[in-house]
Amino acid sequence: MADKKRRNFEVFSLSFLDCITCGFGAMLLLFVLTVGKSAENKESVVSTIIAMISQLSVDTSKEQELVGNVRYRLKIQDERMASLAATKETKEANITELDQQMALLLLQQSNLEDEIDKLIDTKEAIPTQEETAPIPIPNVQRRQYLSGFNFEGNNIIFLIEATGGMVGYTVDEALENSSLSDEEKRQFPKWQRVIKSVQWILANLTPQQRYQIMVFSADTTALIQDRGLEWFDPLDRETMSEVLQELQEVTPLGGANLERAFTTLLANFPGVDTIMLLTDGLPTQSDSIPIGSAGSSDSDRERLFNVAVRRLPDTLTVNTILYPMSGDPGAAFLFWQLANRTHGALVSPAPSWPDI
């Protein structure tokens, strides 16, 4: 009995300690395994986060660049809008100023119209008094002959003599100068006066008139042969330049057949109103009188002239510019008779005319 009392009951036996130890070891193993796996997971997460941060940095840089571009464009657009607004204000100010000026001009126009009306009323109220000329003028239409030519009608033919007489002021001088070169003949002062006379008269034609130019010596041709049947407009500058250029190319030589000149002119231009004849004397050739029997005396040249003028109708006006040529005393009187019969004019100009 005593032995049984001395025995104590042992709670922690060897088997229990083994179990506790195994369990603790299992827990330690589980903890170690869990901690290792957690560390690996953390490293993976950190790597992922770092990669995401890098991508976000790149995306942020791109977005900032885009934002910068947008801001720059907005700045340019704002500047352009400001410039347009300033331009609009300037234009509106200019329009306002123009409106004011227009209103002022309209007011001035109205005032001027009122003044004109008053002046017209005042003029109509002034009693009229006819003044008589101190010297009666029998034919007012022909007054201009003292200073120039008064061309009647709208179709005018310039009939220009281009003979050997245009290179001399006397018969002997003309014969001597017949040996000059063509260029020297074209530049002779007397012939250049003829060209300047044509230029002066052409410049004084009215816009409604038309003209043609024919040149005669032994034969008669249009100055511009491929336009020989046209009427030229004095306002046509190109044609005027062509006419003057062609005149400079004409070489005066040979004799003068005035009868053929009048016949050719009337055949080609039956509607001519006025002939502007530029010559230096009586003709030396004719189609009606044989040259062999004509000779070169004063009476012979007068006969040739009379034959020529009989070709002209009485209704045709002939104006004549007679250039100097000694040894032809009857020329001035006969051309004066022609001007009187045709209601034309005769001018024998001074060496200074025309002063161009």
Could you tell me the two tokens for 66? 């885009």
| Same domain membership, residue 182 and residue 109 | no
Q: Are residues 216 and 107 in the same domain?
A: no
Interval 191-217 mean pLDDT: 91
- Which residue, chain included where needed, has tokens 């530029």? 278
Report if residue 134 sits inside a domain: no
Mean per-residue pLDDT for 187-191? 93
- Asked if 24 contacts 31 with a C-beta cutoff of 8 angstroms, the reply is no
pLDDT for the residue numbered 54? 81
139, part of any domain: no
Instruction: Identify whether the C-beta of residue 346 lies closer than 8 Å to the C-beta of residue 190.
Output: no
- Whether residue 99 is found in the same domain as residue 199: no
Domain limit, last residue, from 98, 117, 136 = 117
Whether residues 238 and 322 share a domain: the answer is yes
Q: Does residue 202 sit in the same domain as residue 244?
A: yes
Place of tokens 């032809």: 328
Structural domain count, the chain: 2
Mean pLDDT of the 205-215 span: 92
What is the C-alpha to C-alpha distance for residues 288 and 302, in angstroms, rounded to an integer? 14
Total number of residues shown for the chain: 356
Q: Is 213 part of any domain?
A: yes
CATH of the domain at 180: 3.40.50.410
In tens, the pLDDT along 318-332 reads 999 999 888 788 899
- Among the candidates 63, 93, 117, a domain finishes at 117
- The answer to whether the CB of 167 falls within 8 A of the CB of 180 is yes
The whole-chain average pLDDT of the chain stands at: 82
d(CA 78, CA 244) in angstroms, rounded, equals 66
Whether 3 maps to a domain, the answer reads no
Domain that holds residue 207: 151-347
Same domain assignment for residues 166 and 257: yes
Is residue 193 domain-resident?
Answer: yes
Least Cα distance to 139 among 154, 152, 157, 128 occurs for 152
Using omega within 30 degrees of 0 as the cis cutoff, is the peptide bond preceding 351 cis?
no
N-term to C-term CA, the chain? 180
**Candidate ranges 35-39, 149-153, 301-305; pick with highest mean pLDDT:** 301-305
Q: What pLDDT does residue 11 have?
A: 53
List the structure tokens of 326: 């000694």
Q: Where are the alpha helices (DSSP H) in the chain?
A: 2-6, 14-125, 171-176, 182-186, 189-203, 237-249, 258-268, 291-294, 298-309, 331-341
Does some domain include residue 129? Answer: no
Residue 305 has pLDDT above 60, yes or no: yes
Burial class (CB in 10 A: 0-12, 13-18, 19+), 148: middle
The Cα diameter of the chain in Å comes to: 212
Q: Are residues 198 and 107 in the same domain?
A: no
Q: State the average pLDDT over residues 113-122.
A: 82
182, 298: one domain: yes
232 and 336 both lie in a single domain: yes
Same-domain status, 84 and 164: no
What radius of gyration, in Å, describes the C-alpha atoms of the chain? 58
Q: What is the mean pLDDT of residues 36-49?
A: 70
Q: Distance between CA atoms of 4 and 20, rounded to whole angstroms?
A: 30
* 214/220 Cα distance (integer angstroms): 7
Q: The tokens 């004063």 sit on which residue?
A: 298
CA atoms within 13 A on the CB side of 264: 22
The answer to whether the CB of 262 falls within 8 A of the CB of 305 is no
Side-chain half-sphere exposure of 353, counting CA atoms within 13 A: 11
pTM, rounded to two decimals: 0.60
Instruction: Tell which of 99, 117, 135 closes a domain.
Output: 117
What is the rounded distance in angstroms from the CA atom of residue 345 to the CA atom of residue 349?
12
pLDDT band with cut points at 50, 70 and 90 for residue 144: very low
Residue 267 lies in a domain: yes
The more confidently predicted of residues 49 and 156 is 156
5 assigned to some structural domain: no
Are 200 and 334 contained in the same domain? Answer: yes
Do 239 and 322 fall into the same domain?
yes
